[in-house]
């Protein structure tokens, strides 16, 4: 049965790899444009640690916006949910992830949600610690508690984004003017861009998805890493805002809480569906996908198509 799952994944990866030609690697962060757009890889990890992989699943890539999920969790662990929600709302926008228009339209300018850049920079400013290093460390230790290994940043991607972060810099300074940041603008920006540059593989993000699928409980370490309330709020945000302004389509046609990043990663958390044995991974799983060619919304084209196929075949939709 395990080998059937593996064979299916291999053949779907071969089929959907072709969809990459409908997208392009992100180029507004110049270092990301160097990725080979034809890559597609996947890793699925079940509640008992069983793992199915296919394609370029071992390729390292940067977290980018997937890091917004983890920083939100870390800020909620540190301050409590209600404090964080005073600084950032939980409402989807239908705007691009880097949009700034609503900040001024809706006074006093609380960012609409933590998955758009304005909200994510705000969340990064609230991480535990008095310096950029401490804030960044508090985030990486949460990531490492889930993936079980140490992570470095990709210096080239970090420098490339730092030099070209004009919109994010504008957002951070605007948020300082309106009083929503918990630390100086340039510090918040540095933490945010560093967290976006953390290197992972599909296996790492599948592990993070697995913990979220189990409401903050790490089934392999047998440890509750954060509360059920934080996990549920985070998954609700993934469903409504995780794929940016394509979240509605993703909910309709894939139907699992997920978060994408412009480097082409998608992290999905598939909760247990009470169908153990009937379909693969019926008792929940985490899925990590990597396919660097992205669409106009910033989501992996081949990765989204692959997830749609798997969700259909394995009956993964939560709806
Ligand atoms: N670092 C990227 C940015 O801020 C992350 C965006 C993304 O993955 N959508 O623009």
Residue 294's pLDDT is 98
**Cα gap 42→106, rounded to integer Å:** 40
Examine the domain organization and report whether 77 and 149 are in the same domain. yes
Q: Does position 150 have pLDDT exceeding 80, yes or no? A: yes
**Which ligand 1 atom lies nearest to the CA of residue 298?**
9
Q: Ligand 1 centroid vs 221 CA: distance in angstroms?
A: 31
Residue among 113, 27, 25, 29 nearest 68 (CA): 113
The arithmetic mean of pLDDT across residues 4-10, rounded, is: 95
Residue 278's pLDDT is 78
pLDDT for 60-87, tens place per residue? 999 999 999 999 999 999 999 999 999 9
Examine the domain organization and report whether 166 and 261 are in the same domain. no
Question: Angle 231-200-272 (CA atoms, 0-180°, nearest 5)?
Answer: 35
Can you give the CATH number for the domain in which 56 is found? 3.40.710.10
Is 258 within the bounds of a domain?
Answer: yes
- Contacts for 151 with CB less than 8 Å, ≥ 6 apart: 140, 143, 144, 198, 199, 200, 204
pLDDT for 164-194, tens place per residue? 999 999 999 999 999 999 999 999 999 999 9
Q: Is the CB of 39 under 6 A from ligand 1?
A: no
Q: How many C-beta atoms surround the C-beta of residue 35 within 10 A? A: 19
Tell me the DSSP string of 41-65.
Answer: EEEEEETTS-EEEEESTT--EE-GG
Is 319 within the bounds of a domain?
Answer: no
Which domain-ending residue is among 179, 196, 213? 196
On whether the CB atoms of residues 246 and 235 are closer than 8 A, the answer is no
Examine the domain organization and report whether 236 and 309 are in the same domain. yes
Which of 113, 196, 264 for a ligand 1 pocket mutation test, highest count of atoms within 8 Å of Cβ? 196
Percent of all residues in the chain with a pLDDT value above 90, rounded to a whole number:
95
Question: Domain containing 92: what range?
Answer: 64-196
Which domain-ending residue is among 144, 164, 196? 196
Examine the domain organization and report whether 146 and 111 are in the same domain. yes
Q: Is the CB of 297 under 6 A from ligand 1?
A: no
The arithmetic mean of pLDDT across residues 18-41, rounded, is: 96
Model-level pTM greater than 0.80?
A: yes
Which domain-ending residue is among 154, 173, 196? 196
Q: Ligand 1 centroid vs 277 CA: distance in angstroms?
A: 38
On whether the CB atoms of residues 182 and 20 are closer than 8 A, the answer is no
Examine the domain organization and report whether 44 and 144 are in the same domain. no
**Ligand 1 atom 4: the closest Cα is on which residue?**
117
Examine the domain organization and report whether 163 and 55 are in the same domain. no
Percent of all residues in the chain with a pLDDT value above 70, rounded to a whole number:
99
Chain centroid, CA 194 distance in Å: 15
Which of 26, 205, 262, 294 for a ligand 1 pocket mutation test, highest count of atoms within 8 Å of Cβ? 262
Q: Ligand 1 centroid vs 122 CA: distance in angstroms?
A: 14
Q: What are phi and psi of 189, to 5 degrees?
A: -65, -40
| Tokens describing residue 245 | 């302004």
Examine the domain organization and report whether 119 and 70 are in the same domain. yes
Examine the domain organization and report whether 86 and 50 are in the same domain. no
Residue 1's pLDDT is 76
- Kindly report each contact of residues 26-30 with a partner whose C-beta sits within 8 Å and lies 24 or more positions away, as own/partner: 26/262, 26/263, 26/292, 26/294, 26/298, 28/164, 29/157, 29/160, 29/161, 29/164, 29/262, 30/160, 30/164
Examine the domain organization and report whether 92 and 214 are in the same domain. no
Query: How many domains does the chain divide into?
Result: 2
**Cα gap 233→246, rounded to integer Å:** 19
Examine the domain organization and report whether 216 and 308 are in the same domain. yes
DSSP structural state of residue 72? H
Q: Is the CB of 261 under 6 A from ligand 1?
A: yes
Is 278 within the bounds of a domain?
Answer: yes
Q: Does position 276 have pLDDT exceeding 70, yes or no? A: no
- Computed over its alpha carbons, how large is the radius of gyration of the chain? 18
Examine the domain organization and report whether 115 and 179 are in the same domain. yes
pLDDT band at 274 (very low <50, low <70, confident <90, very high): confident
Q: Ligand 1 centroid vs 154 CA: distance in angstroms?
A: 14
**Ligand 1 atom 10: the closest Cα is on which residue?**
98
Examine the domain organization and report whether 141 and 190 are in the same domain. yes
On whether the CB atoms of residues 284 and 213 are closer than 8 A, the answer is yes
pLDDT for 198-255, tens place per residue? 999 999 999 999 999 999 999 999 999 999 999 999 999 999 999 999 999 999 999 9
**Which ligand 1 atom lies nearest to the CA of residue 196?**
1
């Amino acid at each position: 049965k395990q080998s059937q799952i593996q064979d299916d994944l291999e053949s779907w990866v071969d089929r959907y790899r072709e969809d990459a030609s409908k997208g392009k690697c992100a180029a507004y962060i110049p270092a990301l444009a160097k990725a080979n757009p034809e890559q597609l890889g996947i890793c699925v990890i079940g509640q008992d640690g069983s793992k199915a992989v296919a394609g370029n699943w071992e390729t390292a890539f940067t977290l980018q916006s997937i890091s917004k999920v983890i920083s939100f969790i870390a800020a909620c662990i540190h301050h409590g949910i209600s404090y964080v929600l005073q600084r950032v709302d939980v409402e989807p926008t239908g705007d691009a992830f880097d949009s700034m228009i609503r900040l001024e339209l809706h006074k006093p300018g609380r960012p609409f949600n933590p998955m758009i850049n304005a909200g994510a920079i705000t969340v990064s400013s609230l991480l535990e610690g008095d310096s950029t290093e401490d804030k960044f460390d508090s985030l990486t230790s949460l990531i490492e508690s889930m993936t079980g290994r140490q992570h470095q940043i990709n210096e080239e991607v970090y420098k490339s984004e730092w030099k070209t972060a004009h919109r994010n810099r504008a957002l951070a300074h605007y948020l300082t003017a309106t009083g929503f940041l918990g630390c100086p603008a340039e510090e918040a920006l540095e933490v945010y861009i560093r967290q976006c540059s953390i290197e992972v593989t599909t296996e790492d993000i599948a592990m993070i998805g697995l913990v979220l699928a189990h409401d903050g409980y790490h089934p392999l370490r047998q440890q509750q890493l954060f509360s059920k309330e934080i996990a549920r709020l985070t998954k609700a945000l993934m469903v409504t805002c995780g794929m940016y302004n394509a979240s509605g389509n993703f909910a309709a046609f894939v139907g699992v809480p997920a978060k994408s990043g412009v480097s082409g990663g998608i992290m999905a958390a598939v909760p247990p569906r009470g169908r153990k044995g009937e379909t693969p991974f019926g008792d929940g799983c985490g899925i990590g996908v990597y396919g660097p060619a992205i669409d106009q919304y910033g989501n992996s084209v081949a990765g989204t198509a692959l997830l749609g196929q798997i969700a259909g075949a394995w009956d993964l939709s939560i709806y």
